[in-house]
Amino acid sequence: MTDDGREPTDGREARLPADTAPRVRRVVGLVDTDSFAKWGAHLLATAPAHWHLELRTVATPRSASRAQLRSAFRGLDERLAYLAAAPPEPHDLDAVVESLRQDPPDAVLVSLIGPVAELVIDEVHRRVPGRPVLVTGLPGISFPAKWKGVFFRARADLFVLHSHREVRAYEELAREGGVEPHFALATLPFARRGAPASDGDGPAPVRDAVVFAAQPSVPADRADRERVVGWLVDTARRHPEWRVVIKVRAAAGEHQTHREQDPYPDLVPADAPANLVVESGPMAEHLDRAVALVTISSTAVLEAAARGIPALTLTDFGTGRHLINEVFVGSGLEGDAIDLVDGRFGAVRPEWMHDNHFHPGSDDDWAVRAEALMARRDAGVLVDRPAARRSRGGVLRRAWERKNALGADDRSLLGVVALVIGAPVRAVKRVGRRVRRLVRPVGAPVVLAPTSQRAGRVADRVADRVADPAGSDRLGDRQEQLVAGRDPR
Q: Tens digit of pLDDT for each residue in 263-287?
A: 899 999 999 999 999 998 889 899 9
What pLDDT does 458 receive? 47
What pLDDT does 11 receive? 36
Distance CA 37, CA 69 (A): 7
Query: Comparing C-alpha atoms, which of 96, 162, 99, 107 is closest to residue 131?
Result: 107
**325 close to 316: Cβ distance less than 8 angstroms:** no
Query: Comparing C-alpha atoms, which of 74, 94, 93, 95 is closest to residue 85?
Result: 74
Query: Comparing C-alpha atoms, which of 83, 97, 22, 8 is closest to residue 367?
Result: 22
**305 close to 348: Cβ distance less than 8 angstroms:** yes
Distance CA 44, CA 176 (A): 31
What pLDDT does 385 receive? 95
Distance CA 146, CA 327 (A): 14
pTM: 0.81
What pLDDT does 19 receive? 56
Q: What is the DSSP string of 268-320?
A: S-TT--TTEEEE-S-HHHHHHTEEEEEESS-THHHHHHHHT--EEEE-TT-B-
Would you mind telling me the total number of residues written for the chain in this entry? 489
Query: Comparing C-alpha atoms, which of 44, 349, 46, 371 is closest to residue 192?
Result: 46
> What is the full per-residue pLDDT of the chain (489 aa) written as tens digits?
455 555 443 333 344 445 577 899 999 999 999 899 999 999 999 999 999 999 999 999 888 989 889 989 988 989 999 999 999 999 999 999 999 999 999 999 999 999 999 999 999 999 999 999 999 999 989 999 999 999 999 999 999 999 999 999 999 999 999 999 999 999 998 877 655 555 555 677 889 999 999 998 899 999 999 999 999 999 999 999 999 999 997 555 444 454 567 889 999 999 999 999 999 888 989 999 999 999 999 999 999 999 999 999 999 999 998 899 999 999 999 999 999 999 999 999 999 999 999 999 999 999 999 999 999 999 999 999 999 987 666 776 776 677 677 777 777 766 655 565 666 666 666 666 666 666 665 555 667 888 889 876 544 543 343 344 444 343 234 333 323 333 322
With a CB cutoff of 8 Å and minimum separation 6, the contacts of 437 are: none
Q: Tens digit of pLDDT for each residue in 158-200?
A: 999 999 999 999 999 999 999 999 999 999 988 776 555 555 5
Q: Residue 134 — φ and ψ, nearest 5°?
A: -105, 115
Q: What are the C-alpha distances in Å from 306 to residues 86, 152, 230, 312, 421?
A: 28, 30, 28, 14, 50
Query: Comparing C-alpha atoms, which of 115, 128, 120, 101 is closest to residue 30?
Result: 120
Which value, to the nearest 10 degrees, does the dihedral of the CA atoms of residues 95, 101, 105, 109 take?
A: 50
What pLDDT does 402 receive? 73
Strands 276-279 and 290-295: unpaired
**228 close to 314: Cβ distance less than 8 angstroms:** yes
Distance CA 80, CA 41 (A): 8
Tell me if the bond preceding 216 is cis, omega within 30° of 0. Answer: no
Q: What is the DSSP string of 367-404?
A: HHHHHHHHHHHHTT-PPPPPPS-----HHHHHHHHHHH
CB atoms within 10 A of CB 266: 12
